[in-house]
Each structure stands twice: as structure tokens, then as C-alpha cells.
Amino acid sequence: MTTQTAEFGVIGGSGFYSFLDDIDEVHVDTPYGAPSDRIAIGTLGDRRVAFVPRHGRDHRYPPHKIPYRANLWALRSLGVRQVLAPSAVGALTPTYGPGTLAIPDQFVDRTSGRAQTYYDEGAAIHVSFADPYCPTGRAAAVKTAATAGWEPVDGGTLVVIEGPRFSTRAESQWFAAQGWTLVGMTGHPEAVLARELALCYTPVCLVTDLDAGIEEGEGVTMDEVFRVFGENIGRLRTLVTDLVQALPAERTCPCGHALDGMKLPLELP
């Protein structure tokens, strides 16, 4: 068992496999198996930060096979209470071109078959989830990005598809017709598992492509996602670095109270 602790967690997405310079790496085991990779722990100013790449450093886990439960559990067991979740997403509206930063405020789950709860035996636990993301984290992300000159899209709905394939044009047009604005593959169950552990969770979405329903070429490709992500990784890293330091150390949001009064069937780490 490690003696290392961190209060802030960052879960890196596609193309975001490392963070922080001077790190200790720890292996953390959980009742849900091993996380996606070793967890890197380091310091930003006076903040202790733990980083895990959700697909693994070698991108070995496709979105439907990511050990989401282990990742969130491991972060909490290190002391993490606030999680930032950078992610590559497609846009469902042509006004959000590649390179757009978006901090959605809602998501729609279109995944299937993923383990999405810690509470599947021993007691029925139902967390509130009307607003899936931390209000403090979202506000800080919007403000930090705007201050850095990267005006973000504040709000919108991320539809999370099962993948690993990208959407058909018809699916994509249907998503857009619902009023949903972004599409990704990892936002669920990551956000709800964070809520089930009473963690704050803030999405930081980088648009890498216009999804199939609005782009006129061959459709989204993996190469395109990685290329655009690579072009923006510098400013995304800077943003996440600034954001960790901008977040209040003491939580006043509702996230930490998600389990108040509930008789949990398991002991949280």
C-alpha cells in the first residue's frame, strides 16, 4: 500500500497519456481489479495530483473495456475528491469546429452492457444525477479557459455511444436532431461512478472532428482524432494545470454529499 496521496485526480483521454513532470508511480489494486495503468502522483503548486490515462499509456483499452470502476476507486483510495476528465469528442453542430473546447452540462447514455455501479448487491442505492457534473468544477473550467483566451462552449449535451465504432451518418443526424451537441465514448459510466463515490467530476472536452452527420468526407477516422488532439495537447495540458490550481481546496458543492444518509453496502476507500 502506498503512502502517497493526492486530492485532485486527472483522467487522461485519447492522446493524453502523461501529465506532471516530477512524479511517483504507484500500482493500486482495487476490489474491481487493476486500474488502466500505474497512477502517477505529483505536485502542481500546493496541489497533489494523481493522473491515470483511461485507455492505458499504450491505449490498450478500447472505450467499452476501460476498467472505469477500478480507475475511480483507485483515485478515491489515494485521497482524490475532485476529478478532471479531459476527453476527445466529436461535434454534432458545424459551429463547433476542431479545436473547440466544450464543458458540457448534461449527457445522454447510449452505451450498453458496461458495469455502471458500485452498488449492485447488498442494498439498493440510488444517487441523484440530474446534474451529472460538479458545478464548481464546471464554473472553474469555463473561467480558467476564458481567462487563458480559449473561450469554451459553456454547456451542452454529450451523447456517449458504446463504440468502439464511430456513428453512422443517420445516427449522428438523429443525435443532432435531439439537440445534443457532442459525441464521445467514455463519459459514461465514468461520471456516474464518480458520483457514486461522492467525488466531484468535471468534463473537459476537446472537439477533434465534426461527426459523420455533418462532415462531407469519408467520416471520422481515428487518425483525425489523434492528429487534432495532438495539435491541441499543449494548450489542453496548460488548461488542466491551471484548472487544478484554480479549484477551491474545500468543497462546497453538493457532490461530496451524494451519499449522505444512505446505508451503503460497502466501505468506501
Ligand X SMILES: Nc1ncnc2[nH]cnc12
Q: From the DSSP assignment, how many helices (H) and strands (E) are in the chain?
A: 5, 11
Residues facing residue 194 across a β-bridge: none
Nearer to ligand LNRAV4D5, 198 or 204 (CB): 204
For ligand LNRAV4D5, give the closer residue by CB, 14 or 144: 14
37 binds, among ligand LNRAV4D5, ligand X, none (CB under 5 to 8 A by kind): none
In angstroms, what is the minimal distance from the CB of 172 to ligand X? Answer: 8
Active-site residue 209, yes or no?
yes
In the 8-state DSSP scheme, what is residue 65?
G
Q: How many CA atoms lie within 13 A of 212 on its CB side?
A: 16
Cβ neighbors of 75 (< 8 A, separation 6 or more) are 6, 9, 11, 39, 50, 52, 83, 199
The answer to whether 257 is a known ligand-binding residue is no
Is 186 annotated for ligand binding? yes
Minimum CB separation of residue 227 from ligand LNRAV4D5 in Å reads 10
Contact positions vs ligand LNRAV4D5 (CB under 6 A): 13-14, 54-55, 63, 87-88, 163, 184-186, 222, 225
Q: How far is the CB of 184 from ligand LNRAV4D5 (least distance, A)?
A: 4
Q: Which is nearer to ligand LNRAV4D5, 138 or 251 (CB)?
A: 138
Per the annotation, the verdict on 37 as an active-site residue is no
Number of residues written out for the chain: 269
The dihedral formed by the CA atoms of 63, 67, 72 and 74, expressed in degrees to the nearest 10: -140
CA quadruple 132, 140, 37, 4: dihedral sign = negative
Catalytic residue among 29, 46, 105, 211: 211
Q: Active site residue: 22, 209, 223, 260, which one? A: 209
Q: List residues with catalytic annotation.
A: 209, 211
